[in-house]
C-alpha cells in the first residue's frame, strides 16, 4: 500500500513538471549567478530545467567547479580571442572618461560570434526535442530571441540592468518624460530636460522600429549586433527553408515577449506606470543569509565602529586600475582606522601599487561572501561601482552606498540611489583621496543616509512573497498556459500616443474654443426700457 502511494505521488509530480529553458550569460560565474540560482531552485521544485551556456571568455579558475544539481546543462565552448575580451575588464572601466557604449562593443562582437556557432550547431535540434514550455532570456543578446522565434517557444525577457530604455520601449510602458532614460548621455539641462529625455526615448523607439537604415544610423547596438544577427537568421540556408526569408527583426521579436522581468524594485525605481506584463523581480538572486565563518566573523566583531565593504564589480578587473585611481581609494581607506575594511580586488588579487605594509584594518581579498557581509549588523557602508545586483543587496540589508560609477549603466543605477536618499556619487573624473574621503564621511556621519537605507530594508522585508516567489509564479503561469495573453497590453497602431489621450484633449479643446468664439461673436441685446433711458440721457 505504501509503495502504491509513493508511485502515485511520483506520477502526480511528473505530470505537474514543466520544462523550462534558461540562456546563461557566457561571461563569469558571478554574472550568471541570477539565472543559475533560478534554474537550481526550479529544478529542486521538480521542474525539468535546462540551461544553455555559450562560453565567451575563459572561466575564472576555481578549486571546485560549481555544477547545478538536477539541471541539464548544454555548454558551447566558443572562446573569443584574448584581445577582444581584454577591453571589457582591463581597459574601459579605468579610462579617465566615462564610457557608455565602448564597454558593450566587445560584447556585440562576442554575441555575433557565438550566434554563428549556435546556428551552425545541433543546439536548435536538441531544444526542439526537449519540448520547452517557456524560456527565460537575458537582455543584451538577441541571438536567443532568434532561436526562440525559430522554435516558436514562448519566452520571458529578463532585463538584468534594471528597467532600461530598451525594455521600456519594447514593453510599451507609458513614457514619463520627467524620468531620465538609461540611454540618455547628454549633459543635464534644467529647463530642457523633458525635451532631451523625449529625444532619447524617440531614438530608442526608432531603433526598434524594424527599419534597418534608421536603426543603423541611430544605434551602435543595432548596427553592430541587432542587425547582423537578424541578417544571420534571414540568410542561413537551412533556416530560410522554414521562414522563407521573412524572418522578423530581433527587436520585433523582443516586443512579443510574454512577460518582462526587470532586475529592480519599486522601492528603488522612479514612478513608472508599469503595464501588467512588466514584473519587478529585483533581488531574486538574494539567498538566505548564512552565518559568517572564520576569519570574517572574528574580524567583524573586532572592529571599533563597524565594517566597510568595497567592491568595484565582477567584470571590471581591479588589478588594472591606474596608479592614481588606486592611491585615491587606498589613501582614503587608510585613514579610516576605526573601521574594518574589506576590499575585493578580484581573482588576480594583485595591483602594481599594492604596498607590502598594508594597515591592519584593511583586508585585500580575491573573494568575500558579499550578501552575508552586507547583512551583518556591523556593516556600515558599501563602496561600489553600481551594479544592480550589489545595489539591491545593499538596499535589502539597509546599507548606505558611496558610488564610483565606472562605465555603462553604473551612473544610471547609482542616480536612483541618490534619488532615494541612501547614497552619494563620486565621479570617476573627480576621484581623489579628498573627494572620496569627504563622501565616505558624509554618508557615515549624516544620519539620514543610514536611516533611509534601514527604512527601505524594512519595507523590502515586509512582504508576503520574495522576489523569487513572484518570478516562480509568473514562470509557471506562462509555462502552463502557453503564454500570458491576458497580461499583455493590446496591440495599438499608435502605441505611445493613445495612452496620452491626446485625441480626447484635442476634441475637448476644439469644443471649448468653438463655444468661446460663439460667445464673443454674439451681439448683446439691451432691454427696450433700458435702451429708451439710455437714449434720453444722451439727448
Span 101-111, pLDDT tens digits: 877 888 888 88
- The confidence score (pLDDT) of residue 98 equals 86
The pair phi, psi for residue 158, each rounded to 5°, is: -110, 110
Closest CA to 322 of 431, 223, 230: 431
Averaged pLDDT, 124-132: 93
Q: Which helix (H) or strand (E) holds 221?
A: helix 220-221
> Has residue 67 got a pLDDT over 90?
no
- The confidence score (pLDDT) of residue 294 equals 74
Q: Which residue has the higher pLDDT, 463 or 291?
A: 463
As a whole number of angstroms, the distance between CA 47 and CA 42 comes to 6
* Range name among 72-81, 108-117, 198-207 with the lowest pLDDT average: 72-81
CATH 3.40.50.2000 fits 2-171+220-284+467-481, yes or no: yes
> What's the CATH class of domain 296-461?
alpha beta
What sign results for the dihedral spanned by CA atoms 77, 78, 82, 86?
negative
With DSSP H G I counted as helix, E B as strand and the rest as coil, what are the percentages for the chain, rounded to 5? 50, 10, 40
As a whole number of angstroms, the distance between CA 306 and CA 302 comes to 9
Cβ contacts of residue 399 below 8 Å, gap of 6+? 309, 374, 379, 380, 381, 382, 453
- The confidence score (pLDDT) of residue 150 equals 95
- The confidence score (pLDDT) of residue 188 equals 79
In this predicted model, what pLDDT tens digit does every residue of 140-163 receive, in sequence order? Answer: 899 999 999 999 999 999 999 999
Q: Which helix (H) or strand (E) holds 391?
A: helix 388-397
As a whole number of angstroms, the distance between CA 197 and CA 185 comes to 10
As a whole number of angstroms, the distance between CA 425 and CA 261 comes to 27
- The confidence score (pLDDT) of residue 504 equals 75
Q: Is 307 helix (H, G, I), strand (E, B) or coil?
A: strand
- The confidence score (pLDDT) of residue 404 equals 96
Amino acid at each position: 500500500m505504501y509503495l502504491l502511494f509513493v508511485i502515485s505521488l511520483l506520477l502526480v509530480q511528473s505530470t505537474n513538471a514543466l520544462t523550462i529553458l534558461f540562456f546563461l550569460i557566457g561571461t563569469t560565474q558571478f554574472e550568471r549567478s541570477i539565472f543559475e540560482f533560478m534554474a537550481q531552485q526550479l529544478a529542486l521544485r521538480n521542474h525539468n530545467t535546462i540551461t544553455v551556456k555559450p562560453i565567451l571568455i575563459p572561466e575564472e579558475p576555481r578549486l571546485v567547479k560549481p555544477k547545478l544539481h538536477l539541471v541539464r546543462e548544454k555548454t558551447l565552448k566558443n572562446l573569443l580571442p584574448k584581445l577582444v575580451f581584454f577591453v571589457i575588464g582591463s581597459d574601459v572601466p579605468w579610462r579617465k572618461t566615462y564610457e557608455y557604449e565602448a564597454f558593450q562593443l566587445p560584447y556585440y562582437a562576442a554575441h555575433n560570434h557565438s550566434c554563428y556557432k549556435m546556428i551552425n550547431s545541433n543546439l536548435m535540434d536538441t531544444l526542439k526535442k526537449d519540448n520547452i514550455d517557456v524560456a527565460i532570456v537575458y537582455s543584451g543578446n538577441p541571438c536567443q530571441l532568434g532561436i526562440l522565434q525559430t522554435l516558436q517557444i514562448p519566452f520571458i525577457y529578463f532585463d538584468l540592468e534594471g528597467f532600461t530604455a530598451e525594455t521600456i520601449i519594447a514593453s510599451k510602458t507609458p513614457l514619463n518624460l520627467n524620468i531620465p532614460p538609461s540611454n540618455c548621455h547628454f549633459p543635464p539641462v534644467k529647463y530642457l530636460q523633458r525635451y532631451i529625455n523625449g529625444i532619447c526615448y524617440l531614438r530608442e523607439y526608432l531603433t526598434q522600429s524594424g527599419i534597418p537604415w534608421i536603426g543603423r544610423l541611430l544605434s551602435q547596438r543595432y548596427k553592430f549586433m541587432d542587425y547582423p544577427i537578424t541578417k544571420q537568421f534571414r540568410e542561413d540556408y537551412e533556416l530560410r527553408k522554414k521562414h522563407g526569408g521573412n524572418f522578423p527583426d530581433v527587436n520585433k521579436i523582443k516586443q512579443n515577449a510574454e512577460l518582462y522581468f526587470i532586475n529592480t524594485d519599486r522601492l528603488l525605481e522612479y514612478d513608472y506606470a508599469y503595464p501588467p506584463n512588466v514584473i519587478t523581480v529585483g533581488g531574486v538572486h538574494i539567498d538566505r543569509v548564512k552565518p559568517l565563518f572564520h576569519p570574517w566573523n572574528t574580524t567583524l566583531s573586532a572592529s571599533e565602529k563597524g565594517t566597510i565593504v568595497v567592491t568595484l564589480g565582477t567584470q571590471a578587473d581591479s588589478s588594472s586600475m591606474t596608479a592614481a585611481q588606486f592611491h585615491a581609494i587606498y589613501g582614503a581607506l587608510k585613514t579610516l582606522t576605526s573601521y574594518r575594511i574589506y576590499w575585493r580586488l578580484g581573482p588576480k588579487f594583485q595591483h602594481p601599487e599594492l604596498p607590502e605594509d598594508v594597515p591592519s584594518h584593511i583586508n585585500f581579498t580575491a573573494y568575500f561572501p558579499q550578501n552575508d557581509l552586507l547583512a551583518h549588523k556591523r556593516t556600515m557602508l558599501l563602496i561600489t561601482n553600481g551594479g544592480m545586483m550589489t545595489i539591491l543587496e545593499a538596499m535589502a540589508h539597509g546599507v548606505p552606498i558611496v558610488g564610483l560609477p565606472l562605465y555603462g549603466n553604473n551612473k544610471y543605477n547609482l542616480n536612483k540611489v541618490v534619488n532615494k536618499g541612501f547614497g552619494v556619487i563620486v565621479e570617476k573624473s573627480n576621484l581623489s583621496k579628498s573627494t572620496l574621503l569627504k563622501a565616505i564621511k558624509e554618508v557615515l556621519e549624516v544620519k539620514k543616509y543610514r536611516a533611509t537605507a534601514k527604512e527601505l530594508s524594512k519595507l523590502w522585508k515586509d512582504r508576503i512573497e520574495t522576489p523569487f516567489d513572484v518570478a516562480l509564479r509568473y514562470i509557471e503561469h506562462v509555462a502552463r498556459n502557453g503564454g500570458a495573453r491576458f497580461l499583455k497590453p493590446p496591440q495599438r497602431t499608435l502605441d505611445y500616443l493613445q495612452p496620452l489621450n491626446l485625441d480626447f484633449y484635442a476634441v475637448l479643446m476644439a469644443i471649448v474654443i468653438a463655444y468661446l468664439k460663439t460667445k464673443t461673436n454674439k451681439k448683446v441685446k439691451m432691454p427696450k426700457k433700458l435702451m429708451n433711458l439710455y437714449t434720453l440721457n444722451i439727448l
